[in-house]
Structure 1
Amino acid sequence: MKDSFVENVNEEYLTDCMRCGFCLSACPTYLATNNDETHSPRGRIALMKAMRDGDVVWDGSVEDSFDMCLGCRACEPACPAGVQYGALIEETRIAIQQVKPKKFVEKTARKAAFDGIFADQKKMAGTVKLIQFYQKSGLQKATRKIGFLDLFPPFMKEMEGVLPAVEKKKKREKKRGNPSKTATTKVAFFTGCLMDTLFQETNRKTIEMLEWLGAEVTIPKEQQCCGALHGHSGELDKGVRNAKANIDAFDSDDYDYIVNNAGGCGAFLSEYEKHLQADSEYAEKAARFSRKMTDISSLFVKLGLNARLKELESEEAGIVTYQDSCHLRNVNKVFLEPRSLLEDAPGFEYKELIDAESCCGSAGIYNLLQPEMARRILDSKMKGVKELQPAKVVTSNPGCLMQMQVGIQREGLEKEMQAVHIVDFLHEAIHKKQKQG
């Protein structure tokens, strides 16, 4: 294991850490474990260095420390030394995956996920068709009625309960952009794998709103999963494979922006430049891709949505609040834009959620791999939600959306509040007013 850490983990990044402790109060796992240093960024960096130097022998406790990390990167904005923790935890997971013995089931599952479902949009669509069959055939009702889901871990049962209804394929295929001949802003839309399957209605509304704001929307073919799950799971080489496919698909001067509506995807997409800077064939194209990448909230603001929202009037509908997508905030530095849109949305009073900047516990597939810690973090998050009592909890990422839906469901608050994607929230606010008009 030591040799793998030497090969993969950047020593200069490790020595940037001054052990000042500014990261501690920003780390959800450190706080959730009653200030256990091994579950803090500072403690994990110390373990990385000790593994690299051969001062610590690899065992289960070391592995637990790294596995418990959410990868939320909240420690980065808090760090006065600019430690690149995101790169370090990615490199650490690469070092582990390269030498850690794997059982057949794990090998098979990783191959199916990273070389199959999340490497080919067609395979992702096929997987989602199975979910659609499960929902539409009556199988879902039957399994719930007989209590079959009780055989699974509680969190998997909860996640099954908040899965969005999957639309039929024919309906999905029709929902594509209708370019405006008078558009002055040209946009390429990164649809995402989960967003364009489980949350395709949100994608449809994204396109509709962009066109309403005067943009011409193009959806490049051959785009794939962004590669974030690969990168966060020690499979960065496969994430880079996806990155190259996406760069090729979007490499055109025909549009001004590449827009996405999933915070977790957006962070990895914006770092294509970093991951491919040493690649002579892709470095320049990756830099161009990353420069054009923008989040949907940021683009809505640039296209003047705030002013359009202020023109609308509506009856008071309650409090709206916002739960940050960790990567959108900590990597892309986008947090003011979505709040400004919610503040200007008609009919709602915006109020800040307590610790909105802290992770909700979703973190990609973390809530499936580390359900106990994810639950503790979500329970803490829901204390703030219950204190605020909003009608809407708005998010900017599909994983965060489902996680907050689980929290609301677990607390029995479904009749009092909803968790919604920011695009769905804004689209509904505008659509309601247009109906009234």
Structure 2
Amino acid sequence: MSNAQAELIRHSFVTHVDENRLMDCMRCGFCLPACPTYIYSDYDETQSPRGRIALMKAVRDGDVEWDGSIEEAFDLCLGCRACEPACPAGVQYGTLIEETREAVLSVKSQSLKEKTIRKGAFDHLFADQRKMKTAVKLVTFYQKSGLQKVVRKVGFLELFPPFMKEMERSLPDPPKKRRAQAAQTEKKTKVAFFAGCLMDTMFQETNRNTIELLNMLGCEVVIPKNQQCCGALQGHSGEMERARRNAKANLEAFSLEGIDYIVNNAGGCGAFLSEYDRLFEENPTLHTLARQFSKKQIDISSLLVKLGIVDELAKQPQTEATEIVTYQDSCHLRNVNGVKDEPREILRAAKGSLFVEMPGAHLCCGSAGIYNLLQPEMASRILGSKMEEVKRVQATTIITTNPGCLLQMKVGVEREGLSETARAMHVVDFIHEKIMESIGG
């Protein structure tokens, strides 16, 4: 690398990576046992949060020359932020890794393929919900028309990487036609529903179940028009301006007047929505609006507990436990929003099942947005370990609270040959199933 290139990268780090945040790290090492990539890279210090922070500072100060190994250290970070609750100094690692990726992206020469993928994903697919719905309609046609069976039979999928084949086998079933459920007449709480991009397309059934449960528990649910993808995928990939664009659209779409909560059912989205204020620190007007918006955020499991779902489940007739249920945490739901007890409280209350805590449930499953597509080797290693824990507790139902985690666990079930004995479900679908069983729906 030439001196000019090295200086360009260093200057980009000076511009984008906040030195004060870097200096918060005391190098105590409390983050190490919380970091999956540190554990699964045989305790390589460069794959730990404090190791990456040291690299950020060294690049920023010009003490090390940028090369592929440094870039790999940043690329292999899951962004799960498990290091943050473990850190006694309150280091804002999630912000630092996003700033670092923005710094790299601003000077890195991208291939035509990468430019095309980023533009297609961030300027079209995840920037326009109509285009996302069109894409999912094509997937639904592929599943329903018989084309999927033909593709599998002729072996066309063998042309794709193994993980892509597993993802194809793990696609959720197309939404089914259903009769409308009687809505609760007395409305005590008014909520605005953040439908999400994947949740409102690929997981429409879960969104429908979410609304039905909220109605049953006395909620008036409004779904603001013109809402966009939360921006998490963009932000985590260093595309901060595109993330701000989506965030601004959502701030405009959601009116806070008369709204008790803004509820979401995707842990990763909820974490990013709750931190919108940090995207607009240099814009006082939007920063104030974002803080008000973020304060209204609540995860569906937390809201259901507030609304009394545990008592509703307790009213169901006691039946013999016919399934073993375990839970895989959504990293951002747990590590950013601090929600870990509510989903477990719900699962323990459900009749006809036995909840068993899965060892290491707090550690990332390897999905991490699109990490499993970009870093399939590390993601596969993490998922393999996760599935060993699933088998250890003999779980027949694996519950998650995030679409990426759900798809990852479905892949794990397929890969381990457990599809006849185990299933992966969103917590909303699990609760809805239990409620419908009790009323004969």
TM-score (norm 1): 0.96
- Could you give the per-residue CA deviations for residues 66-110 of structure 1, whole angstroms, max 9, x where no partner exists? 000000000001111111000000000000000000111111110
Query: What is the aligned partner in structure 1 of residue 411 from structure 2?
Result: 406
Whole-angstrom distance in 1 between the partners of 2:64 and 2:350: 54
- Cα distance, 1:215 vs structure 2: 0.6
Contact 2:183 2:216 in 1 (8 A): no
Query: What is the aligned partner in structure 2 of residue 83 from structure 1?
Result: 91
Query: What is the aligned partner in structure 2 of residue 53 from structure 1?
Result: 61
Query: What is the aligned partner in structure 1 of residue 339 from structure 2?
Result: 334
- Cα distance, 1:301 vs structure 2: 0.5
- Could you give the per-residue CA deviations for residues 404-425 of structure 1, whole angstroms, max 9, x where no partner exists? 1111111111111111000000
- Could you give the per-residue CA deviations for residues 361-405 of structure 1, whole angstroms, max 9, x where no partner exists? 000000000000000000111111110011211000011011011
| Corresponding position: 1:298 with 2:302 | yes
Query: What is the aligned partner in structure 2 of residue 42 from structure 1?
Result: 50
- Using the TM superposition, name which of 8-17 and 180-189 deviates more: 180-189
- Cα distance, 1:138 vs structure 2: 2.3
Whole-angstrom distance in 1 between the partners of 2:113 and 2:281: 35
Whole-angstrom distance in 1 between the partners of 2:199 and 2:357: 26
| Corresponding position: 1:22 with 2:20 | no
| Corresponding position: 1:375 with 2:383 | no
Structure 1 vs Structure 2: percent identity of aligned residues? 62
| Corresponding position: 1:250 with 2:254 | yes
Q: Where do 1:18-417 residues align within 5 Å?
A: 18-167=26-175, 182-313=186-317, 314-417=319-422
TM-score (norm 2): 0.95
- Cα distance, 1:165 vs structure 2: 2.5
- Cα distance, 1:281 vs structure 2: 2.6
SS at match of 2:285: coil
Whole-angstrom distance in 2 between the partners of 1:74 and 1:210: 30
Show structure 2 runs of 5+ residues with no match: 1-8
- Cα distance, 1:139 vs structure 2: 2.0
Contact 1:178 1:217 in 2 (8 A): no
- Cα distance, 1:40 vs structure 2: 0.7
Alignment-mate amino acid for residue 133 of structure 2: A
SS at match of 2:221: strand
SS at match of 1:48: helix
- Cα distance, 1:212 vs structure 2: 0.4
Whole-angstrom distance in 2 between the partners of 1:51 and 1:133: 49
- Using the TM superposition, name which of 159-168 and 140-149 deviates more: 159-168
- Cα distance, 1:277 vs structure 2: 3.3
Alignment-mate amino acid for residue 335 of structure 2: N
Runs of 4+ in 1 over 4 A off after TM superposition: 177-181
SS at match of 1:165: coil
Alignment-mate amino acid for residue 265 of structure 2: N
- Cα distance, 1:179 vs structure 2: 7.1
Show structure 1 runs of 5+ residues with no match: none
- Cα distance, 1:274 vs structure 2: 2.0
SS at match of 1:394: strand
* Number of residue equivalences: 432
Contact 1:166 1:197 in 2 (8 A): no
- Classify 1:430/1:135 alpha carbon distance in 2 versus 1 (closer, same or farther; 3 Å): same
